[in-house]
């Protein structure tokens, strides 16, 4: 792996952890996710007309993924309203990886060798230690249920997008359509819930600038990973991408001033290590 690829992947991991930290740090995570949705749509809309449409075979997967992404946006906001970043992020990311790894053999005929199975066990033990070993610290009411549900959601859209991207013939366009339509649905849901005033407030110059920055971070993270995958083995890039868990733990400690003890740091490291084993298997 060259230094260029290393920089691309670590940049992607930092951006992903960064926009999650921004959502957690916001006064209202629901408004913060809406801000990222607005920014993502603003960036994707000028590009989509110049990209090929995904093949019709991918449309059912795209539609299902949009609905799952809507749930993801809602649960992400709910998770960060209840749970510390240093707890929620590793559980959601690690749990999603476990769901994907366990289901992939049935959907893609991708059978995991022993290293992959060891990674699943390691992630599972680390997540259990993180969830049960905090003694309730870092969790608000219903927090564990929300982050667990979101881990399942992340696993679900990962599997759907894997199937959809393969059927689309245009993976990059497929990804932009999924993000844009999911973001639009999330904004529509906020309108239905009577939060029109909060959305209007995001259209001022300052907030729109932050929206574009957040959208660029969310979409840029994926773009950097895609670029890195054209320069280095996919499995290696995907594994290194999971260092985002360590970035999130560091940001939680130094920016959010969460009480990140040795247990949380060790659990985040174990989750990341297990993810690496799964991705390299």
pLDDT at 189 over 80: yes
Among the residue ranges 22-36, 129-143, 198-212, 238-252, the one predicted with the least confidence is: 129-143
Residue 126: pLDDT band (50, 70, 90) is confident
- By three-state DSSP, how is residue 11 classified? helix
DSSP H helices, 204-243, are 205-229, 234-241
Residue of 60 and 26 predicted with greater confidence? 60
For the chain, first and last CA: distance in Å? 18
Please state the rounded mean pLDDT for residues 131-147: 70
Task: Quickly tell me which residue has 């995001």 as its tokens.
Answer: 202
Q: pTM of the predicted model, to two decimals?
A: 0.86
Please state the rounded mean pLDDT for residues 186-204: 82
Q: List the one residue out of 154, 130, 156 whose CA is nearest residue 144.
A: 130
271, HSE (Cβ side, Cα atoms, 13 Å): 34
Q: What is the pLDDT of residues 207-262, one digit of tens each?
A: 788 888 888 998 888 888 878 877 877 667 777 888 888 899 899 989 998 888 78
Task: List the structure tokens of 108.
Answer: 């893609």
For residues 41 and 156, give the distance between their C-alpha atoms in angstroms, rounded to a whole number: 22
Q: List the one residue out of 229, 260, 256 whose CA is nearest residue 9.
A: 229
- How many Cβ atoms from other residues are within 10 Å of residue 192's Cβ? 8
For the stretch 222-226, contacts whose Cβ atoms lie closer than 8 Å and that sit 24 or more positions apart, written own/partner, are 222/12, 222/175, 223/12, 224/8, 224/9, 224/11, 224/12, 224/15, 225/8, 225/9, 225/12, 226/172
For residues 221 and 241, give the distance between their C-alpha atoms in angstroms, rounded to a whole number: 10
pLDDT at 133 over 70: no
For residues 148 and 151, give the distance between their C-alpha atoms in angstroms, rounded to a whole number: 5
Q: What is the pLDDT of residues 268-280, one digit of tens each?
A: 888 888 888 887 7
Helix and strand element counts for the chain (H, E)? 12, 0
């Amino acid at each position: 792996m060259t230094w260029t690829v290393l920089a691309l992947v670590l940049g992607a991991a930092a951006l992903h952890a960064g926009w999650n930290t921004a959502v957690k740090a916001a006064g209202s995570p629901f408004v913060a996710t809406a801000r990222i949705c607005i920014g993502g749509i603003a960036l994707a809309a000028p590009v989509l007309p110049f990209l090929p449409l995904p093949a019709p075979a991918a449309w059912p997967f795209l539609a299902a993924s949009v609905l799952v992404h809507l749930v993801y946006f809602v649960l992400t906001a709910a998770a960060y309203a209840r749970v510390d970043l240093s707890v929620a992020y590793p559980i959601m990311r690690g749990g999603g990886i476990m769901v994907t790894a366990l289901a992939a053999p049935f959907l893609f005929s991708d059978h995991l060798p022993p290293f992959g199975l060891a990674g699943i066990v390691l992630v599972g033990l680390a997540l259990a230690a993180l969830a049960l070993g905090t003694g309730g610290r870092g969790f608000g009411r219903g927090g564990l249920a929300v982050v667990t549900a979101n881990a399942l959601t992340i696993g679900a859209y990962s599997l759907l997008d894997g199937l959809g991207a393969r059927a689309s013939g245009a993976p990059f366009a497929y990804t932009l359509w999924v993000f844009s339509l999911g973001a639009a649905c999330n904004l529509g849901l906020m309108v239905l819930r009577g939060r029109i005033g909060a959305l209007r407030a995001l259209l001022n110059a300052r907030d729109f600038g932050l929206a574009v920055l957040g959208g660029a971070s969310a979409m840029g993270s994926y773009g950097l990973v895609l670029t890195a995958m054209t320069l280095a083995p996919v499995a290696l890039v995907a594994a290194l991408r999971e260092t985002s868990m360590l970035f999130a733990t560091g940001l939680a400690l130094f920016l959010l001033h969460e009480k990140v003890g040795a247990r949380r740091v060790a659990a985040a490291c174990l989750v990341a290590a297990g993810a690496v084993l799964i991705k390299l298997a």
